Amino acid sequence: MSASRAAFALGFVCAVSAFAQAPALPPEAPAPAIGDQRVLGVLPNHRTTEASHPFRKISFKEKMTIAFKDSTDTPVYPTAAMFAAVYQLENQNPSFGQGMAGYGKRFATAYADQVAGNMFAEGLIPSLTREDPRYFRLGEGSSKYRAWYAVTRIFVCRTDHNHNTFNIAEWGGNSAAVALSNAYYPDTRTARDNAQKLLIQCGVDALSNMMKEFWPDISRKLHKKR
């Protein structure tokens, strides 16, 4: 599959999913808001919080819960189905074949990609590196600054002690997920293929951060119009 089509497909799904992101519960709550707020009662919110709230460290269990919920919530399955359809049309990994058998393999591997990315980048790696996997939404300032802030969060994250650091979880977690995918993608195991997958995933995460940052503003404007 071409990089442009892969980026478009991933970006579209990420954008739709990010529309569900809303401010998390205040810091005095015992755990982050997980699945409590949804757009249209469907799309979930798991790991966005407000930068203006006093910082509260989250535990290993909370990080893993975020990753688990992101991997098992309802939208994950139609997302995997859409990816599988695109991969089928592009005949990605031709050794999978076509027909329902080929589609089934592509669906399973597309779902595995999402699970691996979530578990590594949101749960396991940030727990090992003591990073916070949440997106801390600014919610104020100029649009240009907020957009720049959102995009650069794939490079910068907070530690468990509320200090900024290089986002090892983003790049290390997605790299681990890409490396794992070589076990079930027989035709895309070259260094170029892996680099392309990594850059696409991190780019999609940057887009996701943008949507998390601005969706509450868009939502308020829509409600005012109504």
pLDDT tens for 150-208 read: 999 999 999 999 999 999 999 999 999 999 999 999 999 999 999 999 998 999 899 88
Q: Per-residue pLDDT tens for 35-94?
A: 335 434 445 557 888 999 999 999 999 999 999 988 888 888 888 999 899 999 999 999
Longest dimension (CA), the chain: 53
Is the pLDDT at 4 greater than 50? The verdict is no
Which amino acid type is present at position 148?
A: W
| 24 pLDDT more than 50 | no
pLDDT at 210 over 80: yes
More confident of the two residues 39 and 142: 142
pLDDT of residue 81: 93
**The dihedral sign for the CA sequence 85, 106, 42, 218:** negative
Is residue 18 predicted with pLDDT exceeding 50?
no
CA distance to 19, 51, 132, 193, 222, per residue, from 219 (Å): 9, 19, 26, 38, 5
CB 37 within 8 A of CB 45: yes
C-alpha–C-alpha distance, residues 19 and 126, integer Å: 24
pLDDT at 111 over 90: yes
Distance from chain centroid for Cα 81: 17
Report residue 225's pLDDT band, with 50, 70 and 90 as the boundaries: confident
- The pTM of this model reads 0.76
Cα→Cα distances 64→25, 34, 136, 173, Å = 18, 12, 18, 13
Confidence bin at 226 (pLDDT 50/70/90): low
What band does 33 get if pLDDT is binned at 50, 70 and 90? very low
